[in-house]
Amino acid sequence: MERKPITTSTIRQMKEEGTPISMITAYDYAMARNVDEAGIDMILVGDSLGNVMLGYSSTLPVTMDAMVHHTQAVVRGTKTALVVADMPFMSYQASEEEGLRNAGRLMKEGGSAAVKIEGGAEVCQLVKKMVTAGIPVVGHIGLTPQSVNQFGGFKVQGKDFAAAQKLLDDAKALEAAGAFAVVLECVPAALAKKVTEQLTIPTIGIGAGNGCSGQVLVCNDLLGFSNGFSPKFAKKYRNLHDEIVGAVSEYISDVRDRSFPGPEHSFKIDEEVLEKLY
């Protein structure tokens, strides 16, 4: 059955109905086609692009141009899912005007249906302006990787009273500013559940337990693309690292012993033509 394109209204409705929302990152056309075909609700062109695709040790070096480039590729591979593009580090922190223009670029040039921005109350004025300009916004609180240097590492957030109350207040402020969903990253499960119950907009958890309205994972973590570090919260559904290394090793061996290409991968020519050659 042909699926209908998912919009921000679909996502709000899913929250109202209590239907869990599935979200995954993708950074290119090929992956977007596959996750869209699988029936994912939302695709995030995350600035985790910097870590998993570009080999940086944080998301900080990711540029607006890189985000636009990868968002375009993902949008070309997507038929149904709602594509959300991340606002990278320093694309909105210097001024609201710059933030608004950059959010506009992700939609106008990148083709995304929405943007995601890290931060709580401090970004709400900008969120309001974006929403007023017709840009749907997903908030992102808890562990916000662009502030990793301020946090002093990748740590669970909101564990004491003050931090937990701030998280709840930030979530409510984002809702009041017009965000249509909010990502909760690395937050104790019971706190994420409480936040979810107090909001009318959906929460999308990553390392935030199963009491959120939906879940997001980085596609490379879910697929086991590398045999390196994987965060505690990331369930590895497949081990593509071993599949890829195994397949390429077989190819190398076939090339070396000349068993590839076989006749089925080769093209023919009439013997007569060959014989005429001098």
Catalytic residues: 185
Q: Does residue 66 sit in helix, strand or coil?
A: helix
Q: Which one of residues 84, 123, 216, 223 is an interface residue with ligand KIV (CB under 6 A)?
A: 216
* Residue number, nearest CB to ligand KIV: 46
DSSP structural state of residue 5: P
Q: Is 99 in the site for ligand KIV (CB under 6 A)?
A: no
Q: Is 212 in the site for ligand KIV (CB under 6 A)?
A: no
Rounded-to-integer distance, Cα 94 and Cα 201, Å? 28
Least distance (Å) from ligand KIV to the CB of residue 210? 16
Q: Which of 127, 183 has the CB closer to ligand KIV?
A: 183
Q: Which of 10, 58 has the CB closer to ligand KIV?
A: 58
Here the contacts of 54-60 (C-beta below 8 Å, separation 24 or greater) are: 58/145, 58/148, 59/88, 59/89, 59/145, 59/146, 60/89, 60/146, 60/148
Q: Does residue 111 sit in helix, strand or coil?
A: coil
Least distance (Å) from ligand KIV to the CB of residue 87? 10
Contact between 95 and 60 under an 8 Å Cβ cutoff? The reply is no
The residues in 219-278 that bind ligand KIV, with binding defined as CB under 6 A, are none
Q: Which of 107, 183 has the CB closer to ligand KIV?
A: 183
Q: Is 48 in the site for ligand KIV (CB under 6 A)?
A: yes
Q: Is 46 in the site for ligand KIV (CB under 6 A)?
A: yes
Binding range to ligand KIV, per CB under 6 A, among 7-15, 43-51, 122-130, 260-268? 43-51
Q: Which secondary-structure segment (H or E) carries 197?
A: helix 189-198
Q: Is 78 in the site for ligand KIV (CB under 6 A)?
A: no
Least distance (Å) from ligand KIV to the CB of residue 256? 39
Contact between 23 and 41 under an 8 Å Cβ cutoff? The reply is yes
Rounded-to-integer distance, Cα 68 and Cα 55, Å? 18
Q: Is 31 in the site for ligand KIV (CB under 6 A)?
A: no
Q: Is 64 in the site for ligand KIV (CB under 6 A)?
A: no
Rounded-to-integer distance, Cα 111 and Cα 46, Å? 15
β-bridge mates for residue 137, sequence order: 115
Q: Which one of residues 86, 170, 175, 221 is an interface residue with ligand KIV (CB under 6 A)?
A: 86
**Residue 126 CB burial class (10 angstroms; 0-12, 13-18, ≥19):** buried
Q: Is 183 in the site for ligand KIV (CB under 6 A)?
A: yes
Q: Is 206 in the site for ligand KIV (CB under 6 A)?
A: yes
List residues binding ligand KIV (CB under 6 A).
Answer: 25, 44, 46-48, 86, 140, 183, 185, 206, 216, 218
